[in-house]
Structure 1
Amino acid sequence: MIASMQYNQPSDSSSSGSQPAARRFARLYLLIGLCAALAAALAMPSCLPDGDEPARASAKRITSRDELIGGPTALGEIGDFILMNDKIKVVVEDVGFASGSGLFGGSLIDADRIRTTSNPDKIGGSGKDTFGEFFPAFFLEMVDPEEVVVLNDGSDGKAAIVEVRGRGGEFVSMLRFINQAMINSYEANFGDLVAGIPANSDGAPLVRFSVRYILEPGASHIRVESTLKNASDQPLTFPNAAVMGVLESFLGLDLSGFSVPVGAVLGFGELNSLFLPGVGYDLRWGLEDSYRHEIPLPAFPGLVTDFMASSNTKGTNYGFIAEEAPERNFVANKEAYGARDDDDMLVLFYAAGFSGAFTHDIPDTMGVGEEFTFTNYLIVGTGDVASILDEAYIIRDAPTQTVAGQVLTPTGAPARKNTSLLLYTARTDSGASADGCSRDGEGFDLLAPAPYSQAFTNDEGYFQFTLPPGKYCYRTRDEGRPLSDYRPFEVGDKPVYLNVQASPSASLSVLIQDERGNPMPGKIMLVGKHDYRGDLQKRFYLYDLQAGEPWRTSDMVPDDPNDPSTREYLEAIAYASADGIARLNARPGTYDVYASRGMEYELVRSKDVTLKPGQPAQLAVTLNRAIDTTGYLNGDFHMHARGSIDSGLSFDDRVISIAAEGLETVVSSDHNHVSDYLPYIARNGLRPWLNSVVGVELTTFEFGHFNAFPMNYDVGSINGGAVPWQSLPPQQIFDELRKHGTISPEETIIQVNHPRDTIMGYFSQYNVDPFTSEATLTFQDPSVTGVDKIMATISTPSGPSFMRDCRSEGESCRGTEKFESTLSWDFDAIEVFNGKHLELLKHYRVPYPASVGGADGWPQHAVDQIIDTTCADEFGAELTQFCTDNAIPAADCEAPLADHPTAAWCSFDTQALFARYPQGSVLCDGDAVAFPGGLDDWYNTLNYPRTFIRGDATPAPAEPVYKRYTATGNSDSHTAGVPNFTQPGSPRNFFYVGYDDPTKFKPADLVEAMTQHRNIISNGPFAFMKIGEASIGDEIAIANPRVDVEVVVRAAKWVGASRFRIIKNGEAVVVDDDATPTVHEFQLDEGGEYRATVSLTVDKDSWLVLEVEGDNSLFPVYTPQEIPEVNFEAAIGSIAGTLGFGGGVDGLAPETTFPLTPFAFTNPIWLVYDRPGDSDGEFTPPAPSAPSCSAGALQLSEIVQADADAPLKPVAPAAPRRLRRLDTAKLPASLKANDHHGHEALERQPGEYRDLRTRFKNWHTH
Structure 2
Amino acid sequence: MLFIIALSCQNSEQRSEALQMTRLDQRIGGVKSMGQPGDYLIQNATSRFVITGKRPSMAPHTFGGGVIDADLNRQDPRFANGFGNDLLAEVFPTISMNVAWIDETNGDIKILNDGSNGGSASICTVGRAYPFISLLQIIWGVGQKLESVDLGGEGDAYLLPYSIRTDFTLAPDEAILRMKTYLIPKGDADCNTDVSESEPMPSAYDIVEGPDAGEYTLIDIALAEGYMMGDFYLQGGSLNVFTPEVGFDENGHIYEMNLAGENAFVDPIPADYIAGTGDGTSYALIAPNSRLYIPLFTSSQTAAFGAAAPLTDLDENQTYHYERWLSVGEGDVGSALEHSLKVADVQTGQINGRVLEANSGIALSDVHVFVYQKGSERPWMEWTSDVGFDLQHDGSFEGILPIGEYELQTHAKGRPSSQRVPITLTSQGISDLVLTAAQPGALNLTVVDEANRPVPSKISIFSTEGLDLRNEILGDGYIAPDFEFGQPVAVLFSAHGHAHTILPPGEYFAVASRGIEYEIDISDPFVIKQNNHQELQLQVLRTIDTEGWISADFHVLSQPSHDSGVSFKSRIISMASEGVEYFTPTDHDYISDVDPIIEELGLEYWINSSPGTEVTTIEIGHYLGFPVAVDRLKDAGGAIDWTGATPQELIDGIRDLGQVNEEDPVVFIGHPRDGILGYFDQYGLDHFKSENSDILLNGNLVNGSGLGNLSAVVTTYTANGSLINASLLAEEQFSTDVDALEILNGKRFELLRTPTTEELAEYASELAQATTEQEIQDINRSYTRQINTRTLEEQQRLIEEAATLQESPPSEEDLETAIESDYYTLSALSRGTIDDWFNLLNLGYRYVALGNSDAHGLTGVESGCPRNYVMVDRDEPLLVEDEEIAAAIKAGHVFSTYGPFLRFYAEEDPSLTMGSTVVKTDGEITLTFEVQSPLWFDAGRLELYQNGTLIDEIDFAQPNDDTLNLDLETRTYPVDKDSWFVVVLTGEDDISPIFTTTERPSIQLQDVVADALGNAESASLSILSGFLTSIPIPRSYPTLPFALSNPIWVDSDGNGILDPPGFPTWLIPPPTDNE
Per the normalisation by structure 2, the TM-score is: 0.84
Residues 1:67 and 2:23 aligned together: no
Q: Is the 8 A contact 2:126 2:165 kept in 1?
A: yes
RMSD of the alignment, in Å?
3.7
Q: Which amino acid aligns with 1:88?
A: S
In 1, Cα distance between the equivalents of 2:508 and 2:305? 46
1:1068-1087 aligned at under 5 Å gives the runs: 1068-1071=950-953, 1086-1087=962-963
SS in 2 for 1:309: strand
* Deviation string, structure 1 residues 1193-1219 (Cα, Å, up to 9, x no partner): xxxxxxxxxxxxxxxxxxxxxxxxxxx
What's the offset of the Cα at 1:232? 6.5
Residues 1:998 and 2:877 aligned together: yes
Single out whichever of 271-280 and 646-655 deviates more from structure 2. Answer: 271-280
Q: Is the 8 A contact 1:71 1:127 kept in 2?
A: yes
Q: Which amino acid aligns with 1:457?
A: S
Q: Is the 8 A contact 2:244 2:271 kept in 1?
A: yes
Which residue of the partner structure matches residue 742 of structure 2?
831
Residues 1:148 and 2:109 aligned together: yes
- Residue 385 (structure 1) aligned to one of 309, 333, 349: 333
In 1, Cα distance between the equivalents of 2:296 and 2:415? 31
Residues 1:1180 and 2:1056 aligned together: no
Which residue of the partner structure matches residue 210 of structure 1?
165
In 2, Cα distance between the equivalents of 1:135 and 1:1147? 28
Return 5+ residue gaps in structure 1 as ranges: 1-34, 190-197, 240-247, 325-342, 428-447, 533-540, 557-565, 806-818, 865-911, 945-961, 1072-1077, 1193-1240, 1246-1262
Which residue of the partner structure matches residue 895 of structure 1?
none
SS in 2 for 1:1122: coil
What's the offset of the Cα at 1:182? 7.8
SS in 1 for 2:651: helix
Single out whichever of 1059-1068 and 1140-1149 deviates more from structure 2. Answer: 1140-1149
Return 5+ residue gaps in structure 2 as ranges: 190-197, 203-214, 387-392, 690-694, 772-816
Residues 1:753 and 2:636 aligned together: no
Q: Is the 8 A contact 1:693 1:1003 kept in 2?
A: yes
In 2, Cα distance between the equivalents of 1:226 and 1:800? 24
- Residue 1088 (structure 1) aligned to one of 947, 958, 964: 964
Which residue of the partner structure matches residue 352 of structure 1?
299
Q: Is the 8 A contact 1:161 1:212 kept in 2?
A: yes
Residues 1:549 and 2:481 aligned together: no
Q: Is the 8 A contact 1:183 1:260 kept in 2?
A: no
SS in 1 for 2:1044: strand
What's the offset of the Cα at 1:861? 5.5
Residues 1:126 and 2:83 aligned together: yes
Which residue of the partner structure matches residue 1040 of structure 1?
922
What's the offset of the Cα at 1:377? 1.2
In 2, Cα distance between the equivalents of 1:820 and 1:849? 30
What's the offset of the Cα at 1:1128? 2.0
What's the offset of the Cα at 1:1126? 2.6
Residues 1:1160 and 2:1043 aligned together: yes
Q: Which amino acid aligns with 1:356?
A: A
Which structure has the larger Rg? 1
Distance 1:49 1:208, change over 3 A: farther
- Residue 265 (structure 1) aligned to one of 229, 232, 253: 232
Distance 1:914 1:177, change over 3 A: closer
In 2, Cα distance between the equivalents of 1:395 and 1:689? 54
Residues 1:1011 and 2:890 aligned together: yes
SS in 2 for 1:759: helix
What's the offset of the Cα at 1:1110? 1.5
Distance 1:1178 1:204, change over 3 A: closer
Residues 1:308 and 2:274 aligned together: yes
Q: Which amino acid aligns with 1:50?
A: Q
What's the offset of the Cα at 1:917? 6.1
In 2, Cα distance between the equivalents of 1:186 and 1:548? 48
Residues 1:1169 and 2:1052 aligned together: yes
Which residue of the partner structure matches residue 452 of structure 1?
380
Residues 1:111 and 2:70 aligned together: yes
Q: Which amino acid aligns with 1:1123?
A: R
Q: Which amino acid aligns with 2:439?
A: P
Q: Is the 8 A contact 2:704 2:710 kept in 1?
A: no
Q: Which amino acid aligns with 2:126?
A: R
In 1, Cα distance between the equivalents of 2:527 and 2:222? 62
Q: Is the 8 A contact 2:231 2:304 kept in 1?
A: yes
Q: Which amino acid aligns with 2:938?
A: G
Residues 1:374 and 2:251 aligned together: no
1:561-580 aligned at under 5 Å gives the runs: 566=484, 568-577=486-495, 579-580=496-497
SS in 2 for 1:1129: helix
In 1, Cα distance between the equivalents of 2:752 and 2:101? 38
Distance 1:211 1:863, change over 3 A: closer
Q: How many residue pairs end up in the alignment? A: 976
Distance 1:857 1:913, change over 3 A: farther
Which residue of the partner structure matches residue 790 of structure 2?
none
What's the offset of the Cα at 1:137? 0.3
In 2, Cα distance between the equivalents of 1:80 and 1:548? 34
* Deviation string, structure 1 residues 480-503 (Cα, Å, up to 9, x no partner): 112222221111242224321112
Q: Which amino acid aligns with 2:176?
A: H
Q: Is the 8 A contact 1:132 1:268 kept in 2?
A: yes
* Deviation string, structure 1 residues 1141-1167 (Cα, Å, up to 9, x no partner): 457987973211111121112111100
In 2, Cα distance between the equivalents of 1:374 and 1:1148? 37
Q: Is the 8 A contact 1:309 1:319 kept in 2?
A: yes
In 2, Cα distance between the equivalents of 1:288 and 1:1084? 37
Single out whichever of 393-402 and 713-722 deviates more from structure 2. Answer: 713-722
Residues 1:1126 and 2:1003 aligned together: yes
What's the offset of the Cα at 1:784? 4.8
Which residue of the partner structure matches residue 359 of structure 2?
411
What's the offset of the Cα at 1:1046? 0.9
What's the offset of the Cα at 1:832? 0.5
Residues 1:98 and 2:57 aligned together: yes
In 1, Cα distance between the equivalents of 2:760 and 2:643? 48
Q: Is the 8 A contact 1:739 1:745 kept in 2?
A: no
Q: Is the 8 A contact 2:7 2:75 kept in 1?
A: no
Which residue of the partner structure matches residue 942 of structure 1?
841
- Residue 1063 (structure 1) aligned to one of 937, 942, 945: 945
What's the offset of the Cα at 1:582? 1.9
Q: Which amino acid aligns with 2:55?
A: G
Which residue of the partner structure matches residue 447 of structure 2?
512
Which residue of the partner structure matches residue 1102 of structure 1?
979
Which residue of the partner structure matches residue 868 of structure 1?
none
* Deviation string, structure 1 residues 567-606 (Cα, Å, up to 9, x no partner): 53211110111x3212222222212211111101111111
Which residue of the partner structure matches residue 133 of structure 2?
172
Q: Is the 8 A contact 1:291 1:302 kept in 2?
A: no
Q: Is the 8 A contact 1:707 1:753 kept in 2?
A: yes
What's the offset of the Cα at 1:727? 2.8
1:1175-1214 aligned at under 5 Å gives the runs: 1176-1187=1055-1066, 1189-1190=1068-1069, 1192=1070
1:1221-1260 aligned at under 5 Å gives the runs: 1241=1071, 1243-1244=1073-1074
What's the offset of the Cα at 1:1033? 0.7
In 2, Cα distance between the equivalents of 1:1187 and 1:585? 59
What's the offset of the Cα at 1:506? 2.3
Q: Is the 8 A contact 2:623 2:669 kept in 1?
A: yes
Single out whichever of 516-525 and 639-648 deviates more from structure 2. Answer: 516-525
What's the offset of the Cα at 1:206? 3.7
SS in 1 for 2:474: coil
What's the offset of the Cα at 1:1086? 3.3
In 2, Cα distance between the equivalents of 1:414 and 1:863? 51
Q: Is the 8 A contact 1:974 1:982 kept in 2?
A: yes
* Deviation string, structure 1 residues 522-577 (Cα, Å, up to 9, x no partner): 11110224469xxxxxxxx6654332232242223xxxxxxxxx453211110111
SS in 2 for 1:546: helix
- Residue 429 (structure 2) aligned to one of 481, 485, 495: 495
Distance 1:1070 1:1021, change over 3 A: closer
In 2, Cα distance between the equivalents of 1:520 and 1:255? 55
In 2, Cα distance between the equivalents of 1:692 and 1:707? 15
Q: Is the 8 A contact 1:575 1:583 kept in 2?
A: no
Which residue of the partner structure matches residue 243 of structure 2?
276
1:714-733 aligned at under 5 Å gives the runs: 714-733=631-650
SS in 2 for 1:484: coil
